């Protein structure tokens, strides 16, 4: 019963060539005659030979694996990214190994270590904080690497791919402001995360410029249920705003759940601008107006940069910034002049508190 593994030797023997030739046929490192190639292929097929990745990798040092580290595998945004990456990786002959840091900086480090132990030919990282994960610093030089989505603010020493988060916030705010909304709440996940901070900044700046006061910013975390509770709690003890901007797909869910629980209709009395674009957003009676992130483009750009690096490109790091767009559906209403005045007075009433909340953020 002891079925020995079929190795390159067996194939070589059966095809009547040296093992080096077999290797060359499979790796394509050196040209080999057409008929010999044929013979080798046939022999391999007959024995159902598969090259052993471990051996191959050990000798060559090359892995044909890329590690993908994301903060949360339950968040559609990240899994969509992973899904796209998997497709492109497969097309280029790479396998991906995924790890989730579960938004824990300690776990991030440990997961990173295990990813590095694979000696992958590249890494795509969505860090869980602004800090460049320790242990990665001495790898920058040798290991192709792309940071996506949550890129450390300021110039980076690695390639980065992200959306224009500040602009995303602006777009959402502008839409609401143009329709007369002044009393706007910004539902962030966690302002410690730089892209979120940027989105808040973009929205806040525009709202302040137009409405004369910073919006209230609340943090709902990255878990839909807990965020729902948090927002419910907030709604209980504050005046109801005329509009909410949710800055992630999870906070969008939290916002909608809380409003649904209180049987507050959308868009009247409360308008909502969500984030991301997923099928469930249009599977509702009042479709959700939302900021669309170009997930496919983000994934494509990240992979493209990584591919370049993996094939030896050593040019200075590049920061790719992609644009978001507004997907208008039915969850934002136009405020009548009367309602606007009403909203305005809310602003005045809440001015002080608003400022405090916003200050906490900046």
Partner DNA sequence: CACAGCCTGTTAAACGTTTTACAGTAAAAC
Partner DNA sequence: GTTTTACTGTAAAACGTTTAACAGGCTGTG
Only one of the segments 44-52, 248-256, 299-307, 308-316 lies at the binding site for DNA (rule: CB under 7 A); that segment is: 44-52
Residues 251, 256, 257, 260, Cα dihedral to 10°: 160
Residue closer to DNA, measured from CB, 38 or 353: 38
Binding partner of residue 29 among its own copies, DNA, none, CB under 5 to 8 Å per kind?
DNA
216-219 vs 243-246, strand pairing mode: unpaired
CB 100 within 8 A of CB 71: yes
Choice from 38, 45, 62, 73 touching DNA (CB under 7 A): 62
Is 114 one of the binding residues for DNA (CB under 7 A)? no
Provide the CB-side half-sphere exposure for 264 (13 A, CA): 21
Is 121 one of the binding residues for DNA (CB under 7 A)? no
Binding partner of residue 151 among DNA, its own copies, none, CB under 5 to 8 Å per kind?
none
Is 264 one of the binding residues for DNA (CB under 7 A)? no
DSSP annotation of 324 reads -
Residue closer to its own copies, measured from CB, 119 or 308: 119
Q: Tell me how far, at minimum, the Cβ of 266 lies from DNA, in Å.
A: 57
Of 310, 323, 362, nearest to 93 by C-alpha is 310
Site string for its own copies, 240-259 (x = CB under 8 A): ----------x-xxx-xx--
Q: Tell me how far, at minimum, the Cβ of 307 lies from DNA, in Å.
A: 19
Binding partner of residue 27 among DNA, its own copies, none, CB under 5 to 8 Å per kind?
DNA
Binding partner of residue 226 among its own copies, DNA, none, CB under 5 to 8 Å per kind?
none
What are the distances in angstroms from CA 168 to CA 14, 78, 175? 62, 18, 11
Is 336 one of the binding residues for its own copies (CB under 8 A)? no
Residue closer to DNA, measured from CB, 24 or 223: 24
Residue 333, Cβ density class (10 Å: 0-12 exposed, 13-18 middle, ≥19 buried): buried
Of 86, 80, 110, nearest to 98 by C-alpha is 86
User: d(Cα 362, Cα 352) in Å, to the nearest integer?
Assistant: 16
Choice from 1, 2, 3, 5 touching DNA (CB under 7 A): 5
User: d(Cα 255, Cα 288) in Å, to the nearest integer?
Assistant: 12
Residue 257 phi, psi dihedral angles, 5° rounding: -60, -45
Q: Which residues bind DNA (CB under 7 A)?
A: 4-5, 7-9, 17-21, 23-24, 26-27, 29-33, 36, 49-52, 55-56, 58-62
């Amino acid at each position: 019963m002891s079925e020995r593994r079929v190795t390159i030797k067996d194939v070589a023997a059966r095809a009547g060539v040296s093992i080096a030739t077999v290797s060359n046929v499979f790796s394509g490192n050196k040209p080999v005659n057409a008929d010999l190639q044929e013979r080798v292929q046939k022999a391999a097929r007959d024995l159902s030979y598969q090259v052993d990745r471990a051996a191959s990798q050990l000798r060559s040092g090359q892995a044909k694996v890329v590690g993908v580290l994301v903060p949360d595998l339950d968040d559609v945004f990240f899994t969509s990214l992973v899904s796209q990456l998997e497709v492109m990786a497969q097309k280029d002959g790479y396998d991906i190994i995924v790890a989730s840091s579960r938004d824990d900086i300690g776990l991030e480090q440990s997961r990173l270590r295990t990813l590095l132990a694979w000696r992958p030919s590249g890494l795509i990282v969505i860090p869980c904080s602004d800090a460049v994960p320790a242990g990665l610093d001495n790898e920058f030089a040798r290991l192709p690497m792309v940071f996506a989505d949550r890129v450390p603010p300021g110039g980076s020493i690695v390639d980065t791919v992200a959306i224009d988060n500040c602009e995303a916030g602006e777009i959402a705010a502008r839409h609401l402001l143009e329709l007369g909304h002044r009393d706007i709440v910004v539902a962030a996940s966690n302002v410690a995360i730089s892209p979120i901070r940027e989105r808040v900044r973009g929205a806040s700046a525009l709202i302040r410029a137009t409405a004369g006061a910073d919006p209230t910013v609340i943090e709902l975390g990255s878990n839909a249920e807990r965020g729902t509770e948090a927002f419910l709690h907030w709604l209980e003890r504050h005046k109801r705003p005329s509009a909410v901007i949710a800055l992630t797909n999870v906070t969008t869910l939290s916002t909608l759940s809380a409003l649904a629980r209180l049987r507050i209709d959308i868009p009247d009395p409360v308008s909502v601008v969500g984030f991301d674009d997923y099928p469930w957003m249009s599977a509702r009676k009042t479709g959700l107006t939302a900021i669309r992130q170009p997930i496919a483009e983000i994934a494509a750009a990240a992979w493209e940069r990584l591919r370049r690096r993996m094939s030896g490109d050593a040019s200075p790091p590049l920061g790719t910034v992609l644009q978001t767009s507004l997907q208008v559906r039915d969850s934002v209403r136009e405020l009548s002049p009367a309602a606007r005045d009403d909203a305005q007075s809310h602003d005045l009433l809440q001015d002080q508190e608003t400022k405090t909340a916003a200050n906490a953020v900046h």
